[in-house]
Amino acid sequence: MMNFDVLVNNIQETHATLQQSAIKAINKHLTIRNWLIGFYIVEFEQNGEDRAKYGEKLLDDLAYKLDIKGLGARNLKLFRQFYFLYPSIVQTASAQLKDINFRQNKRTISSTFDKLELKVDSGTSNTISESEKGVYTLSGEVLISKLSFSHLTLLLPIKEQVKRSFYEIQCIQGNWSVNELKRQIRTLYFERSGMSLNPEKLSLEVHENSDQIQIGDIIKSPFTFEFLGLRAKEVVYENDLEQALVDHLEEFLIELGHGFCFEAKQKRIIIGDEYFFIDLVFYHRILKCHVLIELKTNEVKHEHIGQLKTYINYFKKEIMLPGDNPPVGILLVTDQNKALVEYAVADSDIPLFVSKYVIELPSKEQLEIFIKNELRHF
């Protein structure tokens, strides 16, 4: 007879297992969709009847006509690159089309399937195979089942196949998070491994200290929530406390009556090829500038100020209009029961900030009291 603890354990295990399975399925469908979009674009560029009519404007015109969130010209270009660099995904994409009952355009899908079948090489179904250049590559099925599409986008700029394969394998072996993969690429782990007298020891050290991916990180990817039609605020918060603080801070600043005009929550910006989210963005009608607010519910780090300054410089270059004053940032940090407030500006704007901005912005004391009160209520 089942006791209560067994009942609890069965439900917990069933929930965790099926939740992970569902999230992995979402990532798989997202990755295949993006690969197929790249395939469609390349097919049109090579064989489209009216391809010359669009030429270099193809992706811009296509993004405008599609009008689907997440399918802008930048991402369409990314998907085309993804198709070129990962031809091994053709088998998985072809098999996926067999299993999906498309509601419309069955003739078009059937034609797509036939073209994909012609590209499938029956000798590339192994988990790992050796290319003509002697580089070991993972099968498409392994890639899309073990790596999120966000992982794969970090690998696309790597032109050398051996280097890209190295990071694929290391990332899968170490179960790296997206940020960990980014860090290892930036710190030249591939090059360091080649130069090391003891690469096995280096690998062991890297994996012991690496940040591992959590299953929820896949859902929090911008690609995933756009694919699912979710809003940014529904997926990006780390915890309930962070969401509550941001929601109440918006009300608090507007109620101060110092000219804060709400503009955006979880404002998404793209710097280079990376997505970033700013917790709150206001336009201050008295100061005539944007006020960017970042909230951190963990210990303050030097990189937090650096990140906020990056946002400020982005707004200064890309968003600021003639007649606007330079943007200013406010970093709010809560670490257990401590509250910390820091203002950030572009370095050249510090004299202006001191003389003018501080008069109209809430004081550090006001904001620290707000954080402490929220923590107490929470």
Q: Is 41 helix (H, G, I), strand (E, B) or coil?
A: helix
Cα distances from 209 to residues 119, 204, 299, 369, in angstroms, run 41, 9, 20, 37
pLDDT score at 234? 47
Provide the pLDDT confidence category of residue 35 given band limits of 50, 70 and 90.
very high
Question: Average pLDDT, stretch 19-48?
Answer: 89
Q: Is the pLDDT of residue 82 over 90?
A: yes
Provide the pLDDT confidence category of residue 361 given band limits of 50, 70 and 90.
confident
Question: Average pLDDT, stretch 60-87?
Answer: 90
pLDDT 10s digits, 118-169: 655 544 444 545 554 445 678 888 888 889 998 999 999 998 989 999 999 9
Instruction: Tell me the fold of 232-377.
Output: Trna Endonuclease; Chain: A, domain 1 (3.40.1350)
Nearest to 280 by CA among 329, 319, 343, 318: 329
Nearest to 154 by CA among 217, 81, 231: 81
pLDDT higher for 262 or 248? 262
Q: Do residues 110 and 104 make contact, with C-beta atoms less than 8 angstroms apart? A: no
Percent of the chain topping pLDDT 90: 19
Which of 66-70, 83-87, 332-336 has the lowest average pLDDT? 332-336
Provide the pLDDT confidence category of residue 116 given band limits of 50, 70 and 90.
low
Q: Is the pLDDT of residue 315 over 60?
A: yes
Which of 68-82, 96-110, 271-285 has the lowest average pLDDT? 96-110
pLDDT 10s digits, 147-160: 999 899 999 999 89
Domain regions of the chain by residue span: 4-219, 232-377
pLDDT score at 239? 53
Instruction: Spell out the SS3 assignment of 164-194.
Output: HHHHHHHHHHHCECHHHHHHHHHCCHHHHHH
- Amino acid occupying residue 295: L
Q: Is the pLDDT of residue 1 over 80?
A: no
pLDDT score at 123? 45
pLDDT score at 340? 76
Percent of the chain topping pLDDT 70: 81
pLDDT higher for 34 or 52? 34
Which of 87-91, 109-113, 179-183, 369-373 has the lowest average pLDDT? 109-113
pLDDT 10s digits, 189-226: 888 888 887 878 888 888 887 777 777 677 767 777 77
